[in-house]
Amino acid sequence: MIFLVSLPRKKHHGMKRNPLIQFRNVPVSGAMLETVYKELKAPDKKLQNLTESGELIRLKRGLYLVNPELSGVKSSLPLCANHIWMPSYLSLRWALRWYGLIPERVYRITSVTTKRTQSFETPIGVFDYYQVKGNYFRIGIRTVKEDTVCFLIASPEKALCDLILFDTYVPNRSIKRLRQYLEEDMRFDMDELSHFDPNIIEDCAKQGFKTNIFNNLIKIIKS
């Protein structure tokens, strides 16, 4: 759920253009913002004031987003997710929902990273990050353009593998139970499995984590 501060309407006739507008909906570092107000004695205090007034949204320490009511550009949760904890890509339930593969709404923005597992509660949502090894991380990532921004997200195959990797309740041995898990527990769109690329799942299986489950998934896809 997104909570944003509503800004009071201002008359722009004869007024200098707000320098924050140039950043649009791209997350921006505090250091970059301070250069905008470098003529001030205490630019860091200026950022604090802008955050308190709602013109800036603090995503985490040292990272901000211009309030969309000020920038005139809708904020992008995927883009923010990529920036908050880098390197990372969107995955797990959020990505599966984004692809339309599961029916339930997802309220936490889930990503995979090579950094430590972390969670960030922000005014625009909760961002969760799950740690994996570098060789596994690099498999099955794609760049997607949505509106005016580009972001990194797992392919459908990798998003499902990531979910299996971190879900302790996935059946380990039985193909029948794995199918039941997908159909009943996740309510996964099983018809879409016929379009999956088994090579991506095979690459995940080669990394040595939950190999048996990934191989069973490949058998379901090929059946």
Q: What's the rounded mean pLDDT across residues 214-220?
A: 97
Binned at pLDDT 50, 70 and 90, residue 1 comes out as very low
Residue 197 to residue 156: CA distance in whole angstroms: 9
Q: How far apart are the first and last CA of the chain?
A: 40
pLDDT at 3 over 60: no
Residue 16 to residue 39: CA distance in whole angstroms: 16
Report CA dihedral (71, 73, 78, 82) to the nearest 10 degrees.
-40
Q: Number of C-alpha atoms within 13 angstroms, CB side, residue 105?
A: 2
Q: What's the rounded mean pLDDT across residues 101-123?
A: 97
21 contacts 66 by C-beta, under 8 angstroms: yes
Binned at pLDDT 50, 70 and 90, residue 9 comes out as low
Structure tokens at 61: 């320490």
63-66 and 88-90 beta bridge pairing: unpaired
Position 149: which residue type?
A: V
Q: What is the pLDDT of residue 8?
A: 52
Binned at pLDDT 50, 70 and 90, residue 17 comes out as confident
pTM score of the predicted model: 0.90
The neighbour count for residue 138, using CB atoms within 10 Å, is: 13
Average pLDDT, the chain: 92
Q: Where are the domains of the chain?
A: 19-71, 78-222
Residue 56 φ then ψ, to 5°: -115, 145
* Strand order, beta sheet including 63-66: 28-29, 63-66, 56-60
**Which residues are within 8 A (CB) of 72 and not within 5 positions of it... i.e. 6 or more apart?**
21
Q: What's the rounded mean pLDDT across residues 104-120?
A: 97
1 contacts 125 by C-beta, under 8 angstroms: yes
